[in-house]
Amino acid sequence: MVLPITAFYASLLGICYLYLSFLVIGARRRHNVSLGDGGHEDLGRLSRAHGNFSEYVPITLIMIACFEANTGQGWAVHALGSAILFGRVLHAYGLGRHSGVSWQRFTGMILTFLAMLVTAVGNLALIHFGM
């Protein structure tokens, strides 16, 4: 089974994850902290952006792959992949730059939750109704 659209977004998200990893590593080196955040707010925010990414992206990509495999429309797979990609990028940017709520963080979470919800409902519809 070939899932080219999901593979495209998984690859872009993988590059984003590596970038977040390098940001955390750089902050750890700069502050000489190997575990935790050492009380450094910037390291704490970067670590959470990295962790939050790893918490939401895998399940969403799995559901998108299922949607594509269940003959979901290509345009819909692209819309879902774009939503999770832009949602995670916005969220990471907002969390990395602001200690409080920011429009980037808020919008990123909305896009992430929409991608998850629409993908889950879409998969259930494809399975149940054979759409």
Distance CA 25, CA 36 (A): 12
Q: Look up the CATH number of the domain holding residue 123.
A: 1.20.120.550
Q: How confident is the model at residue 79 (pLDDT cuts 50, 70, 90)?
A: very high
Nearest Cα to Cα of residue 81 among 69, 63, 96: 63
Which residues make Cβ contacts (< 8 Å) with residue 33, sequence separation at least 6?
A: 27, 40, 43
Percent of all residues in the chain with a pLDDT value above 70, rounded to a whole number = 99
Mean pLDDT for the chain overall: 92
The string of pLDDT tens digits covering residues 14-59 is: 999 999 999 998 889 898 788 887 878 888 888 888 999 999 999 9
Residue 56 backbone phi and psi in degrees, to 5: -100, -35
Distance CA 83, CA 40 (A): 31
- Which residue range(s) make up the domain with 9? 4-129
> What are 35-43's contacts with CB under 8 Å, separation 24+?
41/99
Structural domains in the chain (count): 1
